[in-house]
Amino acid sequence: MERVKHTACAEPMVERDGLVVAVQADRALVRFERVAACGACRVAGLCASGKDSRDLPVPVPGGRRLEPGDRVRVGISEASALRATALAYLTPLAGLLAGLLAAAFLGLGEAGAAGLTLSGLAVGLLAMRPLSRLPANRPALALIDTFPARNPTEPDS
């Protein structure tokens, strides 16, 4: 199988292999299969691993032609992956702590403190979705390698 290298990234990347299922003008729709470790991960809903398979659009560098059935290796920077993980874990934690501090400041009893703390956690969980959709928090996918389904020098049948 031919391998075509697309990028020489200076920064470390988190890489996943996927299958091209459709091609548009400058993007390919790539299907990523869930790996076994992703089932218990709490960040799975914010990355490509949240379901059994997930299709994501990946920009295709100019001059490269992909076809459905090609295997590709896609990456995101480790900094982007770390930012997404921090968003998924720290946002609910911040809400929980804000609720706890508010309860302490207001001098609420145990039941009130528990209610306000859980309310803060709920606000943190609800805030994750809109925060993850902000452009600065959306990791950019990069096409790293392609493994064409057929040898490009072979004639079409």
Low-confidence ranges of the chain (pLDDT < 70): 1-12, 34-53, 151-157
- R_g over Cα of the chain: 21
For residue 7, give the DSSP letter: -
Domain parsing of the chain, residue ranges = 4-147
Q: How far is CA 120 from CA 57, 84, 94, 126, in A?
A: 34, 20, 8, 10
Residue with tokens 């299922």: 21
Helices (H), ranges, 3-77: none
Q: How far is CA 13 from CA 69, 79, 100, 133, 140, in A?
A: 24, 8, 37, 21, 11
Given this model, what pLDDT does residue 9 score?
A: 52
Given this model, what pLDDT does residue 45 score?
A: 55
Given this model, what pLDDT does residue 48 score?
A: 47
Annotate 101-129 with DSSP letters as a single string.
Answer: HHHHHHT--HHHHHHHHHHHHHHHHHHHH
